[in-house]
Amino acid sequence: MYYTLGYSSAMHPCRLLDTGSINKRGLWWDDGEPFAHPPTEPVIAALTPFEANHPCMSPRLPPFYTVKAPLFREDFIAALIAAGASNMHLYPAEITDPDNGEIYTHYKAVNIIGLVNAADMKRSIATIHDGIAQIDVNFDHLEIAPDRTENLLMFRLAENNGPIIIHETVRDHLVAHGFNDINFYHTSEVAI
């Protein structure tokens, strides 16, 4: 079974990332390919100012952010690698807290290597745009064909490269190691 990796600040309040602050350096972080010219400096991002009354905010930093350039906390990366999901290229990242100027360096910008044509289009319910079943297919029900995953335990789906797909063994390992604030959505039960 496969799951999409998710995080809900509504369910697990945390410090929110200012998505406009992320310096992608002209790179596409969701292509599943190694960069021809990787970033040579840290990937720069900033948190949004803390609002104590905001229902989705708390002082804690989440295990990961997945917008634009995915930013994973180092302990989360270690858990993924221990679970067998090591197909990542990691780059230094700096996240600045605008409230106190603190710079967090215990996150890495992550390029997940593996763009896989693993959707079972006959068993999935999908809307194909422009007649091409690549990159921007919308799924109401996604079935993964395990024989087409290239034995990767974490990957981007070629048919819709937005979500990060993980195998259930990775999910089980993360939960067993205390990552209980992550949302795992079975691919057949979530629209992407």
Question: What confidence tens digit (pLDDT) does each residue in 136-178 have?
Answer: 788 999 999 999 999 999 999 999 999 999 999 999 999 999 9
What are 81-121's pLDDT values in tens digits? 999 999 999 999 999 999 999 999 999 999 999 999 999 99
d(CA 120, CA 77): 29
Question: Residue 77: helix, strand or coil by DSSP?
Answer: helix
Cα atoms in the Cβ-side hemisphere of radius 13 Å centred on 42: 15
101: containing domain: 2-189
* Cα dihedral sign, 80-142-9-109: positive
How many structural domains is the chain composed of? 1
Q: Are strands 43-47 and 88-96 parallel, antiparallel or unpaired?
A: parallel
What is the pLDDT averaged over residues 12-38?
A: 89
Mind giving me the DSSP string for 124-145? SEEE-STT--SSB-EEEE--B-
| Model confidence pLDDT, tens digit, residues 39-90 | 878 999 999 999 999 999 999 999 999 988 899 999 999 999 999 999 999 9
